[in-house]
């Protein structure tokens, strides 16, 4: 019995293109569609009555694996992935690995058994992660693969940090400090280097590495008001830190932004909009990152394009009351 792979080979096209031609879907040249149907007729190939039987080996499902149990990064990214995959009539199976290697292996086996068409791998950090090494179309989003031959879509964090630093300078700040998260985290180290390069002598002390928390932001203010009471701006590595900074400055009687300006990073509305005043912050565009990941995966699944192995999305600066 002839298979769709035999039809594709005879017509000189991919299996995905043969499937589209036989099901009268997709945007194909008419001569391509005709050539595939003629090949099917020569071989005696008959599609299943549903239109997705022998003529379509795809399941129209995609697995999305994440380590972000809280959903802070995954939910907005998922919205973008759904936007992109809706055009391909594809459904998403969401799996939370909880940073557990054994759980990840279990989910990967299960998704393979379900014959998903592709995978999107993401997480709650931008730290590079090991490649899953499977022969399934895969895109790594936010958390890139360490394998340069894999397809990864990421945010240009350095550009975002430079935006925040240069904004403070443009507003007149000249004695700026940088408070950020653990130095072992890619986000903290990458953003700190970018801030140092952008500010030069306007950065009055080495970056302060600590935790991604409001508590650390408050503690950093106490230290810096003692050692550098003339600091006129804080460029923070996250919105949580920036929220702690603004709260503690207000408690100390320091006017924000009248005396000290503050910026955050992430545009997490729970923190950025609830801050007093609302935070100027860098928006990583996670929904747009999800759209890019989804469209890249579609290209890989359909086999009709060769997307770049690494794609960087530019962030944007959301200017609010903490720096104006």
Report pLDDT digits (tens) over 234-272: 999 999 999 999 999 999 999 999 999 999 999 999 999
Task: Report yes or no on 29 lying in a domain.
Answer: yes
pLDDT of the residue at 240: 98
Note whether 281 and 124 are within 8 A (CB): no
Flag whether 54 is in a domain: no
Q: What angle do CA 97, 101, 103 make, to 5 degrees?
A: 45
Structure-derived torsion over alpha carbons of residues 272, 278, 282, 285, reported in degrees to the nearest 10: 60
Q: What's the whole-number mean pLDDT along residues 121-145? A: 96
Query: Which residue from 95, 94, 76 is spatially nearest to 155, judged by alpha carbons?
Result: 76
236 with 180: CB under 8 angstroms? yes
Q: Is residue 207 domain-resident? A: yes
Q: Are both 258 and 293 inside the same structural domain?
A: no
Domain-located, residue 320: no
Distance between CA atoms of residues 276 and 37, nearest Å: 65
Same domain for 202 and 213? yes
Sign of the Cα pseudo-torsion (37, 40, 44, 45, in order): negative
319 lies in some domain: no
Any idea what DSSP says for residue 162? Answer: H
Q: How confident is the model at residue 1 (pLDDT cuts 50, 70, 90)?
A: low
Q: Would you state the pLDDT for residue 211?
A: 98
Does residue 132 sit within a domain? yes
DSSP at 181? S
pTM over 0.85: no
Q: What is the CATH number of the domain that holds 201?
A: 3.40.50.2300
Question: Both 70 and 90 in a single domain?
Answer: yes
Question: pLDDT digits over 191-209, tens only?
Answer: 999 999 999 999 999 999 9
Whether 49 is covered by a domain: the verdict is: no
Tell me, what's the pLDDT at 305? 79
Shared domain for 304 and 276, answered yes or no, is no
List Cβ neighbours of 7 (8 Å cut-off, separation of 6 or more): 18, 22, 36, 39, 40, 43, 45
End-to-end CA distance of the chain: 71
In sequence order, what are the beta bridge partners of 153? 141, 311
The string of pLDDT tens digits covering residues 11-60 is 998 877 888 888 877 778 899 999 999 998 888 887 654 444 455 678 89
pLDDT for the residue 24: 79
Per-residue confidence (pLDDT) for residue 49, from 0 to 100:
40
As a whole number of angstroms, the distance between CA 183 and CA 37 comes to 59
Q: Are residues 150 and 165 in the same domain?
A: no
Mean pLDDT of 82-107: 92
Do 149 and 117 fall within a single domain?
Answer: yes
pLDDT at site 166: 98
Radius of gyration of the chain (CA): 25
CA–CA dist 264, 154 (Å, integer): 19
* Distance from C-alpha of 37 to C-alpha of 212, rounded to nearest angstrom: 58
b/e sequence 259-291, b meaning 16+ C-beta within 10 Å: ebbbbbbbbbeebbeebebbbbbbbbbbbbbbb
Do both 265 and 191 map to the same domain?
yes
Same domain for 253 and 291? no
Together in a domain, 226 and 207? yes
Give just the sign of the alpha carbon dihedral 90, 91, 97, 99: positive
Sign of CA dihedral 273, 279, 284, 288: positive
Rounded Cα distance between 210 and 219, Å, is 10
Mean pLDDT of 134-162: 97
Tokens of 210: 């600590």
> Is residue 51 in a domain?
no
Task: Give the pLDDT mean for 164-172.
Answer: 98
Same domain, 179 and 245: yes
Give the bridge partners for 281, in sequence order. 264, 318
Q: What is the mean pLDDT of residues 153-157?
A: 98
Taking a C-beta distance cutoff of 8 angstroms, is the pair 176, 168 a contact?
A: yes
Q: Is 251 found in the same domain as 181?
A: yes
Residues found in the chain: 324
Shared-domain flag, residues 24 and 103: no
Report the 10 Å Cβ neighbour count for 34: 13
Q: For residue 312, what is the enclosing H or E element? A: strand 310-313
For the chain, the domain total comes to 3
Identify the domain containing residue 28 by its residue range: 4-43
* DSSP 3-state of 94: strand
Do the beta carbons of residue 280 and residue 120 sit within 8 Å?
no
DSSP letter string over 105-167? HHHHHHHHHTT-SEEEE--SS---B-----SS-EEEESS-BS-TTSEEEEE-HHHHHHHHHHH
Q: Check residue 296 and give its pLDDT.
A: 96
Mean pLDDT taken over the chain: 93
In tens, the pLDDT along 281-318 reads 999 999 999 999 999 999 999 887 789 999 999 999 99
- pLDDT computed for residue 138 by the predictor: 97
């Amino acid at each position: 019995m002839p298979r769709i792979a035999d039809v594709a080979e005879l017509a000189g096209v991919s299996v995905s293109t043969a499937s589209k031609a036989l099901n009268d879907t997709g945007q194909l040249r008419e001569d391509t569609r005709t050539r595939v149907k003629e090949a099917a007729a020569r071989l005696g190939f008959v599609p299943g009555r549903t239109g997705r039987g022998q003529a379509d080996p795809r399941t129209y499902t995609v697995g999305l694996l994440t380590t972000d149990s809280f959903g802070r990064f995954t939910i907005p990214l998922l919205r973008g992935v759904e936007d992109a995959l809706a055009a391909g009539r594809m459904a998403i199976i969401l799996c939370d690995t909880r940073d557990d290697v054994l759980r990840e292996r279990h989910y990967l086996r299960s998704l393979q058994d379900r014959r998903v068409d592709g995978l999107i791998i993401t997480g709650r950090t931008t730290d590079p992660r090991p490649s899953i090494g499977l022969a399934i179309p895969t895109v790594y989003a936010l958390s890139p693969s360490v394998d340069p031959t894999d397809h990864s879509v990421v945010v240009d964090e350095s550009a975002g940090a430079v935006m925040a630093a240069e904004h403070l300078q443009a507003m007149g700040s000249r004695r700026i400090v940088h408070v950020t998260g653990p130095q072992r985290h890619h986000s903290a180290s990458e953003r700190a280097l970018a801030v140092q390069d952008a500010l030069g002598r306007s950065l009055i002390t080495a970056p302060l590495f600590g935790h991604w928390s409001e508590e650390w932001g408050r503690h950093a203010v106490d230290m810096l008001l003692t050692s550098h009471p003339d600091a006129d701006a804080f460029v923070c590595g996250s919105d949580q830190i920036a929220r702690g900074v603004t709260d503690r400055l207000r408690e100390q009687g320091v006017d924000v932004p009248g005396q000290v300006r503050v910026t955050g990073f992430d545009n997490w509305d729970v923190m950025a909009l609830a801050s007093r005043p609302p935070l100027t912050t860098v928006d990583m565009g996670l929904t747009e990152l999800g759209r890019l990941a989804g469209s890249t995966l579609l290209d890989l699944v359909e086999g009709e394009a060769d997307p770049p192995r690494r794609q960087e999305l530019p962030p944007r600066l959301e200017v609010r009351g903490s720096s104006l």
